[in-house]
Amino acid sequence: MTTQNNRKTTENFKPQFLSASKVAQIMGVSRGHIYDLVKAKEMPSSKLGNKIIIPIAYLEETYGVAL
């Protein structure tokens, strides 16, 4: 029974952040361009270990990216 409950929870899970690489792929730009936007503070980001992650809400609101 626990496994079924966990599946229901993960099926409805929506990530809140994407990696800079994934954002670049979605937007059709280079990863370096995303890093440049982050460095110039034109795109919000957070660090998760060594990874830079971008909030999905920002991409949806600013660029109309539906994820």
Has residue 26 been placed in a domain?
yes
Distance CA 13, CA 51 (A): 21
The structure tokens 């990216």 sit at 65
Has residue 28 been placed in a domain?
yes
Number of domains in the chain: 1
Q: According to the model, what pLDDT value does residue 14 have?
A: 85
Has residue 10 been placed in a domain?
no
CB 16 within 8 A of CB 27: no
Has residue 31 been placed in a domain?
yes
SS3 14: coil
Has residue 51 been placed in a domain?
yes
Q: What is the pTM of this model?
A: 0.77
Has residue 57 been placed in a domain?
yes
Residue-range definition of the domain harbouring residue 56: 18-67
Has residue 12 been placed in a domain?
no
CB count within 10 Å of CB 52 equals 20
Grouped pLDDT means (10 residues each) for the chain, 67 residues:
59 90 96 98 97 96 88
Has residue 3 been placed in a domain?
no
Q: According to the model, what pLDDT value does residue 65 have?
A: 83
Q: According to the model, what pLDDT value does residue 5 have?
A: 58
